[in-house]
Amino acid sequence: MLWYKAWLETRWRFVFVIGSMMLVWLTPLWLPGAAPPERLWLGLQLGWVLLYIFAAVFLAGAGINTQTMYAATPGFHGSMLFTLSLPVSRRRLLFVRAGLGAIETCVFVAIMAGFALFQGPGATSALQALLYGTRAIVCTLPVYALSVLLACVLDEMWQFMGAGLCWSAVFLLQSRSVVVSRISPLRGMSLVSYPVTAPMPWAPIVASVVFAGVFLYASVLVLQRREY
């Protein structure tokens, strides 16, 4: 029942990100001056990471708040009070909400990653596509987990802004710090930083798993202590 309720709250958001993905796929075909595959590949290199981040932030479960269907809004949805009255722990409710959003995010990233590789120049094997898809999914999870944590302490509107500011700061720091650059999830999910033919970047992958775990654990602690 909780999974179905979470799906009803997030289904239109999932449809929206899938629609945005289709729009990005089709837009380069309308650009003049170059062969569509070349323009498409250039667009993938420049914008794919931004799409991963957008999907992760947009699909992140709003803590135990009931999410609105279409857009970010201040305050909380009125049905949240009904949700809090259900005979279920806050921890379980968080895991259901976060779990469903994580599944939706992983599906989106997997589709995008596969499309990016098979539309790029040169041949890409199924194994290379699988490895990159796995890397992109794992490195997107801390983006998602941080959004879940922010949703536990901020209104939905500020959650989006806060997540954007946090990852903008990481993007700036990774160009100025060797340590941040080596473990940055943003570089781990990128085809520019680590091409598909490069060895698997284990440092950002391991760091992403650790960050995602820490953010999720912090979300549980926040929800268990927060007054509603």
- Which pLDDT score, from 0 to 100, does residue 4 have? 82
Please identify every stretch of the chain with a pLDDT value under 50, giving residue numbers as ranges: 34-36
Residue found by looking up tokens 């680590």 in the block: 194
pTM of the model: 0.84
E strand residue ranges, 8-135: none
- Which pLDDT score, from 0 to 100, does residue 114 have? 78
Q: Which of 220, 227, 225 is closest to 94 using CA atoms?
A: 220
Query: Residue ranges per domain, the chain?
Result: 2-225
The Cα–Cα gap between 223 and 63 comes to 8
Q: Which of 61, 62, 10 is closest to 228 using CA atoms?
A: 62
Q: Give the 3-state secondary structure of residue 76.
A: coil
Gyration radius (Cα) of the chain, Å:
18
Q: Give the 3-state secondary structure of residue 59.
A: helix
Q: How far is CA 105 from CA 33, 53, 112, 140, in A?
A: 34, 10, 11, 8
What's the chain's length in residues? 228
- Which pLDDT score, from 0 to 100, does residue 82 have? 57
- Which pLDDT score, from 0 to 100, does residue 68 have? 60
- Which pLDDT score, from 0 to 100, does residue 36 have? 47
Structure tokens at 183: 């473990």
The Cα–Cα gap between 97 and 102 comes to 9
The model's pLDDT over 88-120, given as tens digits with 9 standing for 90+, comes to: 777 888 888 888 889 999 999 988 887 767 665
Structure tokens at 90: 């806050």
- Which pLDDT score, from 0 to 100, does residue 3 have? 81
- Which pLDDT score, from 0 to 100, does residue 145 have? 93
